[in-house]
Each structure stands twice: as C-alpha cells, then as structure tokens.
C-alpha cells in the first residue's frame, strides 16, 4: 500500500481515470510472460506525456517508492514484475511516433509505440527497422530497448542495441537526460545509450528513443531444407557461417517441434524429418541469386534430403508461418511452457543441439527445440504443468543444466530475453562476482534509493 | 465474505481451461477494446488472470471481477489469434454464468430474460405492441440507413440512431402453422432470430427468395424463440437453457438437411454455445445439440458450399437494380469469421450478384456492437464503431454489407449519426434484389 497522500498526488498528475489502485487491476499488473510467481503492485499509473512521467518519477523518488515500467508485459524473464510497495508505470498512452526522417534515416518514438506498428510505418517509406522479436505484434519499443530484444534477423541485422542511436530518459530523481544523437556518428560524453539498452528499467525511465533505419532489401529468397538427422542440420548451420554467407534468417526446427507444428497447422511439413532449416537470404537481386545457389549446394553437400525454394511471396509466407507457429503449436501441448534462450557461439550449435537432447532424456521432460540457429540463439522450449511439483522440479534442474552447458561452450544465459528476476541468481556463473559487484555499485551510484525496478539483473 | 470460498469452488470448474493461458499477451494485438483503453483488465489475458484470482479466492467480493468481465465485446478476436488456443469466449460465457448465479441477476435482467425473452410468445406480443407505439417516442431520421432517433432527450437512447422495430415482424407474414416449401433437392430449416424477425424482416424475406430461387425446400417452424445469447451474455444460463429447449423441440419435429440462419450471432451460438453451455444436459439432449450444431450453417456458406452459385448466370434479372453500379464493401462479423471461419462465402455471394466488391481496411475488425456492451458502454462502443465507419467510408462504397443484423444495427447507427449516404444491407438482400419478384 502507498499512503493516501501519494495516491492523491499521483492522481493529480495523471487524472483520476489514469491511476489504478483496486486490487483487481493490481492483479492484472502482477505478471508478465515469464513463468514466475505474480507480485501485485500498490498502484498503476498511465502517464500521457513527458511532463507527467517526470513528475511521477520525482514523486516516487521523494517518497522512496519503487517504479516498474511496463509496456505490453510480454517479458520472458520477469523484468516487469513489480514490488508490492511499488507502482507500475504503464507506457500505453505514450505511443506516438514523433518523427520518421527519410533523409537522415532515423525515427524518434515514444516508449509505448508497438514494434510492429513502427515497422509497418517505416516500410511504407521503403525503409526498414529490422529487429523483429517474436512478440513484435504487441511488444513496445520501450520494452525492446530495455530488454535489448532480438528476433529472427539477428544474424545479419543485429538486435535492438544495433539500432538505438540515442535516448532521452529520466534518472531516478526525475532529471531529464539526453544521450546519443540523430547523427550516424557521435563521440561526445559517455556512451550512456549503450549502457541504457538492456538495463531493464534499473537505471532510468525512457521517454524518447532515436532509432536507426536502413534501406529495405531489394530482393529476398526463402528456402526450406529437410534433414534425416539433426546433426546434419546443425552442421549445415556451422557450414553456412564458415562459408562466409550471412543469411538474413537461419532457423532450425527439431522433430518434436515439426510434429507439433504439423498437428496444429496442417502445413504439410514432413513429420518424419529429424530437422528443418528455414533459410532466407536478402539484398541485391544478383547477390541473392548467388547466395541462394551456394546455400542450396551446401545443404545438399551436408546431407539434406531435399531443399525447396519459395517460388513466390505466398510460398515464402507459408514457410515463415510454419516458423511463427512453432511456439503456438508447442504451447497447446501442455499447460506450462518455459521458453529458454541460452545462446552459444554459432559454431557450437551442433554441440548444443546434442546436449539439449541429452538433457531432455536425463530429466525425462519434453523439450521442443527451435530457434535462431544462425546466431547461436536456440529456444529450447520445455513443456510441463507447473502444478505438477515433482516434474517442475526436474524442469528447474534441466534449466540449470542448460545454463551450465551454454556457459561451458562460451555462451550466455540469455540471447534476447534478458536477465530480469528469472536469471538474476545465475548471472554470477556467467560474469563472476566482481562483475555483479561492479553492476551493483553502478546502480547504487545512479539510484541510491533503489527505486528503479529493484530486484532485476543484479538481484538487489 | 464466507461465500467467496464457494465461488472459488465454482470457478474451479474452469481451471483446466484457465491454465492453458500462458500469459504471452498476444491478445493485446487484436482486442478492439484494449486498443482504445490499453488497460490490461480489458484484454483477455487480464480477465483470465482475474478469473484465476477468483479461483484462488484472493478477493473479498466478486463485484470488481464481474464488472471487468462484462467489459468485453465477446467478439472472439483474442481466441481466434491465441497461440495457446485458449477457448476465451466459452470461458468468459461460463464465468459470467457462474458469477450471475452466485450474485443473482439484477431485477431488470430477471424481468427481461425470465419473463420475456424465455417466453417467445409473450416476447413477440410485447415487441409487436412496442412497434406500434414507437413513433410516440422516436422519430425517423430520414437517412439512408432508415434509423430513428429519440424525439426528446432520453438518457437511455442518448444520441443513438437505432433501427426501428418493424411494424410487421417477419413471423407475422408467415402462415400460423409455419412455412413449408418444397424444392428439388436440399431441405433447409430456417432459424429466423430476434433481430431479423423484429427489425430486419427484409433479410428473412430476401433469404427465402434466394432459397426458393435455388430450389431449396424450406421449413420455418412457427413460434421460434431467441437463440439465447442475450441471456447468456448476462450470465443467465437458466433462460438460455430454457430457450434452447424450446427451439430444439420445435426443430426436432422436422426433417431437414441443414439448419440455416442469416444471423452470424445465431449461427455461432447454435454451433458453439448450445452444445457447450447448456445447463446439465442429459446424454440424449447432448447428442441432439451436437447433431444440430453440426447441421447448422450460415446462409452464405450454405449457398456457396452446399448449393453452389454461379456468378450472374443464376440470376433471373442480371440487369436489375444494383447491376454493376453498386460498389459494396463487406464487414466481417466476428461471429462469422473469427468464430466460424466464414469469410469468403459472403463475398462470393456479393460478387455473384454483380456488385463491385471493394475491401475496407480492417474488414474483420469488430464493429464495437457486442450486444449489451453497446448498451452499458455506449461511448466505447461508438469509438470502436467510428473506426469501422471511417474504414467503410474510405472505400468510396455505396453499400456496406455484412452477415449479421447486430453489426447492421451498429454500422447503421455510426453511418446515420455521421449523415452518410451509404446503405447497409445483408448479402441476401443484395443477391435477392437481382432476382425477379415472382418468388416468395
């Protein structure tokens, strides 16, 4: 609970309609998409503009009230789960695209803009905003920046951090900070932009984001390769990379996932295949043609049973619909779905795939594996029922082993879902205690009252 | 409150369905209400969390959850796009029933559902009586949609442009013993539905004309009642079940190949809700409901998939009104496209009638009607409806067509208030207008 006087002050800032305190509403802001226990905040506020946002933060600072900012709550690591003594700041009304600059190829947006909305707007102008997280139909740019979201195109086009040119945000006291610029190059001051991306709301509250845009590729070619063993498929991934070809997308689906997708969507996938690779090359038409040939030859050389090219947009759409259906199809099998994103150097994909199969067997659990094989970011997806405590315990053990395996291969706990609450206890394994201490000191200096999304990343 | 524990037990009936939501939040991308308010309690994920909260007995009274649960168009956009396949509409309908049974219906709803709607004869008489006197309180607004508005300032009607009750409901135009015609092949039973009977009898007349033209034998049993959705949406499962019984008894007396309706909502209710929400069905009743649901079809779907229509060739009057000049845009009723997957067939019917079909942006976006949602949340309903109106107007069409009388009411209200000259017609009305008049 927060005192009445503070509720009144918040209400004065945003208006009575945009302050929520009833228990029912609090329940709806107690969770995100991560499989974690819900925590109800004391209040939720929906500011409409920069002024209101700044006033809210100053008020919370003065009164030591924790702040958790929430976009669409699609987070997969618990980054938007609040504190009981804290408030949730919703960005839903701060959803304006302020500028799309065609001449200088950048966009300035508010944090509540939905990723897919921005992507569609820039596409109309022949421009391209590549980061495409799976949740882009609902996820917000603010959330993408805070989590350093990835997507299917990471391999060639990078992730959110590669597109953030500058930011304007509030520090914990409500001071307005500007970092980065609208220019391609910018060498002034600290690279605070880089620090803020992926900081999960622990260092400041975003108000505006300047995003880099690039020209849309002129041509693209999607392909599907079918394999009889998953080793051949994962060796192909490593082979394509070492042949110095960089597809826009290089995705893998294992047999478990193929069967789930086929049951769900009747897309005509070969259910006897051990693995599928879905590949897309893009760019200048001549390059696309040449790379498509090279990829085809490589796949066949590595033992692909067949490789088919999409002949038109409709076929291409069908290929990607199958990939997009993967999570949906798996989600229908059991009540609880734990989507992991431990990531390894891409040459280690064959080893990781093998390790995941062993882990599934060892802990007697169902793991469907699909994901961004081309950038080393697999999504082992564990299907379980959280109400079955015994099984869920095995799931937790399996997750820990997946983490250890990825780290042993020189990988990371999370390619794109963030640390949040879910991975905070494991971070020391990856980075070592001194790195956690450094992060905590940084945080303590910038937010001495620990009001900015406490508990995330550094565990405090 | 001691009873909350009991309520928690009741909600537990839904547990297996509730746990299928993985909280991914994808429903936020399609919910027409969330698009307006951006509040989590307005979207399916939030409501499912609230029901889980009731099940976990964390609230001291059910009112807050009940109120939020009722802020929903039941359009099913979330269910149609749900990665986990959560049966959202069925869950919400059942939850509304559980809450209504726990809390008791309001006296007004009790009067309307139990005394009127669940009693088709009395309901018909009351509506007919009201139809004769409606001119005292409302006036025709002389617009292209044929709507009315309030003569005096009325808090209930506000500035609505609503469709007036027909002076002669459809069932009054039929013989007292019901209507039967013989055809050359398929036999169809026709379920009229309240809105078509009492507000859009022309849709039923047009449907009969079209069925006769295609030589489909038709049976319309007399004394049909409401499909039950208004009662069910308010959680009154008893009145719903009573109405299902009433209608089932009427139709099971007859032999027919398909049950057709020209109302998207009736079709969806008969197919999806009769077999799943009926209160404590015996095995026998369950079998009958499942069998009837399988036989039930939207009239556009029936015409295209079962009867088969040939563009223009089948029309007796290719040069009749609308020929070639009418530009028609089609609105997908949620209860046809999202609930039943019927989207191509009505378009084929419109094209077969020789009209130029021009797609609007977001043709399958909800119009904002949502039955009683329109009554309790008229402002939100209108905001959502205005988006629909603008998308319709941008096509430059002369007519907007849709396969649901409830959508027709909402769209007429939106266009009427904006002073638009676009007419609102059911695909059957468009198709029938190209047939010679000598059919029934």
pLDDT of residue B138: 74
Q: How far is CA B210 from CA B297, B350, B429, in A?
A: 15, 13, 9
pLDDT at B178 over 90: no
pLDDT of residue B110: 81
Question: What residue of A is the nearest CA neighbor of B48?
Answer: A28
The per-residue pLDDT for range B141-155, each reduced to its tens digit, is 777 888 877 766 665
Residues in B lying within 8 Å of A, measured between beta carbons: 19-20, 22-26, 28-29, 38-41, 45-46, 49-50, 53, 58-59, 64-65, 68, 83-85
CATH number of A97-215: 3.30.465.10
Domain boundaries, chain A: 4-90, 97-215, 219-408, 423-460
pLDDT at B314 over 70: no
DSSP string, B217-284: EEEE-SS----SHHHHHTT-HHHHHHHHHHHHHHHHTS--SEEEES-HHHHHIIIIIHHHHSSS--HH
- What are the DSSP E strand ranges found in A173-327? 176-180, 205-212, 214-215, 219-227, 249-254, 275-283, 306-309
CATH number of B170-307: 3.40.50
Q: B439 pLDDT band (50/70/90 cuts)?
A: very low
Residue B244 tokens read as 């299902």
Domain boundaries, chain B: 3-103, 170-307, 327-432
Q: B125 pLDDT band (50/70/90 cuts)?
A: confident
- ipTM comes to 0.94
Distance CA A75, CA A146 (A): 10
- Any idea what DSSP says for residue B165? P
pLDDT of residue A264: 83
Smallest Cβ–Cβ distance between A28 and the set B50, B58, B85 belongs to B50
Least confident of A199-208, B37-46, B178-187, B252-261: B178-187
Phi first, then psi, for residue B137 (nearest 5°) are -110, -20
Smallest Cβ–Cβ distance between A33 and the set B19, B25, B40 belongs to B25
Looking at the domain covering A4-90, what would its CATH class be? alpha beta
Distance CA B426, CA B203 (A): 7
Are A331 and B23 a contacting pair at CB < 8 A?
Answer: no
Closest CA to B69 of B36, B91, B38: B91
Distance CA A69, CA A356 (A): 34
User: A85 with A95: CB under 8 angstroms?
Assistant: no
pLDDT of residue B440: 44
pLDDT at B135 over 80: no
Residue A432 tokens read as 């070592």
Q: B315 pLDDT band (50/70/90 cuts)?
A: low
pLDDT at A63 over 80: yes
Please count the other Cβ atoms lying within 10 Å of the Cβ belonging to residue A181: 15
Rounded-to-5 percentages of helix, strand, coil across chain B: 55, 10, 40
User: B433 with B353: CB under 8 angstroms?
Assistant: yes
Q: How far is CA A161 from CA A146, A166, A191, B141, in A?
A: 10, 10, 12, 58
Percent of chain B having pLDDT more than 70?
A: 93
The per-residue pLDDT for range A185-238, each reduced to its tens digit, is 999 999 999 999 999 999 999 999 999 999 999 999 999 999 999 999 999 999
Smallest Cβ–Cβ distance between B25 and the set A73, A331, A335 belongs to A73
Question: What is the mean predicted confidence (pLDDT) over B392-415?
Answer: 96
pTM value > 0.80: yes
Distance CA A156, CA B174 (A): 69
CATH architecture label of B327-432: 3-Layer(aba) Sandwich (3.40)
Q: For residue A151, how far is the Cα from the chain centroid? A: 7
Are A331 and B24 a contacting pair at CB < 8 A?
Answer: yes
The per-residue pLDDT for range A16-43, each reduced to its tens digit, is 999 999 999 999 999 999 999 999 999 9
CATH architecture label of B3-103: Orthogonal Bundle (1.10)
Closest CA to B46 of A36, A69, A17, A25: A25
pLDDT of residue B341: 95
User: B314 with B56: CB under 8 angstroms?
Assistant: no
Domains B3-103 and B170-307 share a fold: no
The residue with tokens 């208006």 is A15
Per-chain mean pLDDT for chain B: 90
Looking at the domain covering A219-408, what would its CATH class be? alpha beta
Q: How far is CA A381 from CA A231, A271, A378, A393, in A?
A: 19, 19, 9, 16
Are A135 and B24 a contacting pair at CB < 8 A?
Answer: yes
Are A24 and B25 a contacting pair at CB < 8 A?
Answer: no
Question: What residue of B is the nearest CA neighbor of A75?
Answer: B24
What angle (nearest 5°) sits at the alpha carbon of residue B15, between those of residues A334 and B281?
Answer: 110
Question: What residue of A is the nearest CA neighbor of B18?
Answer: A335
* Chain B contact set for A37 (CB, 8 A): none
The per-residue pLDDT for range A295-351, each reduced to its tens digit, is 999 999 999 999 999 999 888 888 888 888 888 889 888 989 999 999 999 889 999
The four Cα atoms B227, B230, B231, B234 give a dihedral, to 10 degrees, of 150
Smallest Cβ–Cβ distance between B49 and the set A23, A27, A93 belongs to A27
Are A27 and B83 a contacting pair at CB < 8 A?
Answer: no
Question: What is the mean predicted confidence (pLDDT) over B249-274?
Answer: 96
């Amino acid at each position: 609970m927060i005192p009445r006087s503070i509720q009144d002050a918040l209400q004065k800032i945003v208006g009575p309609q945009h302050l929520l305190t009833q228990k029912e509403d609090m329940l709806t802001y107690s969770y995100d998409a991560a499989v974690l226990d819900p925590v109800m905040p004391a209040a939720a506020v929906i500011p409409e503009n920069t002024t209101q946002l700044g006033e809210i933060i100053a008020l919370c600072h003065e009164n030591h009230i924790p702040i958790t900012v929430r976009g669409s709550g699609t987070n997969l690591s618990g980054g938007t789960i609040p504190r009981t003594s804290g408030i949730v700041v919703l960005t839903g009304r701060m959803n304006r695209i302020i500028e799309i600059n065609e001449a200088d190829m950048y966009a300035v947006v508010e944090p509540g803009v939905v990723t897919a909305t921005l992507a569609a707007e820039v596409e109309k102008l022949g421009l391209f905003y590549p980061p495409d997280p799976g949740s882009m139909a609902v996820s917000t740019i603010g959330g993408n920046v805070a989590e350093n979201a990835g997507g299917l195109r990471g391999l060639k086009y990078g992730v959110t951090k590669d597109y953030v040119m500058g930011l304007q945000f509030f520090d914990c006291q409500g001071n307005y900070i500007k970092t980065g610029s609208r220019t391609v190059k910018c060498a002034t001051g600290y690279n605070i932009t880089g620090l803020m991306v992926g900081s999960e709301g622990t260092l400041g509250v975003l108000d505006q984001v300047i995003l880099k845009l690039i020209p849309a590729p002129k041509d693209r070619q999607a392909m599907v390769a079918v394999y009889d063993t998953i080793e051949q498929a994962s060796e192909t991934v490593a082979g394509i990379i070492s042949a110095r070809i960089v597809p826009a997308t290089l995705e893998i689906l294992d047999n478990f996932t193929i069967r789930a997708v086929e049951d769900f969507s009747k897309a005509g996938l070969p259910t006897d295949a051990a693995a599928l690779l879905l590949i897309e090359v893009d760019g200048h038409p001549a390059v696309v043609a040449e790379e498509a040939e090279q990829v085809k030859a490589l796949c066949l050389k590595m033992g692909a049973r067949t490789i088919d090219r999409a002949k038109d947009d409709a076929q291409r759409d069908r290929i990607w619909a199958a990939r997009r259906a993967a999570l949906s199809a798996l989600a229908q099998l059991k009540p609880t779905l734990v989507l992991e994103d431990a990531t390894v150097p891409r040459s280690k994909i064959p080893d990781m795939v093998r390790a995941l199969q062993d882990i599934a067997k060892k802990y007697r659990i169902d793991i469907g594996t699909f994901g961004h094989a081309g950038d080393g970011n697999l999504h082992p997806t564990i299907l379980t029922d959280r109400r079955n405590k015994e099984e869920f315990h095995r799931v937790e053990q399996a997750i820990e082993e997946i983490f250890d395996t990825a780290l042993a291969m020189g990988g990371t706990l999370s390619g794109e879902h963030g640390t949040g609450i879910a991975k905070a206890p494991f971070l020391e394994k990856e980075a070592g205690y001194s790195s956690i201490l450094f992060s905590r000191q940084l945080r303590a200096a910038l937010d001495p009252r620990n009001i900015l999304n406490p508990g995330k990343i550094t565990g405090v | 409150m001691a009873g909350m524990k009991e309520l928690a037990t009741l909600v537990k009936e839904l547990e297996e369905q509730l746990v299928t939501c993985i909280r991914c939040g994808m429903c936020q991308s399609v919910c027409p209400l969330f698009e307006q308010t951006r509040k989590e309690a307005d979207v399916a994920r939030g409501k499912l969390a609230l029901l889980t909260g009731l099940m976990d007995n964390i609230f001291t009274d059910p009112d807050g959850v009940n109120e939020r649960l009722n802020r929903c168009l039941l359009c099913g956009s979330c269910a149609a796009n749900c990665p986990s396949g959560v049966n959202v509409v069925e869950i919400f309908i059942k939850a509304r029933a559980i809450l209504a049974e726990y809390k008791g219906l309001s006296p007004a709803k009790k009067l309307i559902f139990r005394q009127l709607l669940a009693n088709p004869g009395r309901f018909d008489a009351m509506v007919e009586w009201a139809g004769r006197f409606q001119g005292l309180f409302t006036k025709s607004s002389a617009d292209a949609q044929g709507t009315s508005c309030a003569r005096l300032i009325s808090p209930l009607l506000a500035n609505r442009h609503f469709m007036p009750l027909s002076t002669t409901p459809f069932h009054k135009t039929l013989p007292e013993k019901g209507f039967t015609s013989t055809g050359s092949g398929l036999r169809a039973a026709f379920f009229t539905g309240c809105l078509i009977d009492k507000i859009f009898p022309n849709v039923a007349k047009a449907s009969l004309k079209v069925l006769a033209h295609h030589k489909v034998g038709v049976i319309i049993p007399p004394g049909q009642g409401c499909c039950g959705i208004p009662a069910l949406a308010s959680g009154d499962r008893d009145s719903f079940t009573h109405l299902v019984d009433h209608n089932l008894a009427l139709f099971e007396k007859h032999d027919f190949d398909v049950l057709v309706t020209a109302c998207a909502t009736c079709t969806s209710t008969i197919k999806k809700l009769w077999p799943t929400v009926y209160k404590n069905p015996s095995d026998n009743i369950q079998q009958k409901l499942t069998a009837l649901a399988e036989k039930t079809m939207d009239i556009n779907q029936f015409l295209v998939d079962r009867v088969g229509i040939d563009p223009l060739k089948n029309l007796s009057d290719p040069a009749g009104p609308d020929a070639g000049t009418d530009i028609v845009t089609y609105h997908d009723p949620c209860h046809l496209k999202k609930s039943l997957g019927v989207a191509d067939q009505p378009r084929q019917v419109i094209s077969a009638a020789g009209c130029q079909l021009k797609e609007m942006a977001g043709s399958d976006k909800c119009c904002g009607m949502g039955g009683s949602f329109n009554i309790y949340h008229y402002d939100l309903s209108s905001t959502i409806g205005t988006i629909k109106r603008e998308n319709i107007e941008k096509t430059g069409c002369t007519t907007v067509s849709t396969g649901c009388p409830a959508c027709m009411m909402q769209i007429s209200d939106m266009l009427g208030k904006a002073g638009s000259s676009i007419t609102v017609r059911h695909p059957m009305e468009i198709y029938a207008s190209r047939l010679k008049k000598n059919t029934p």
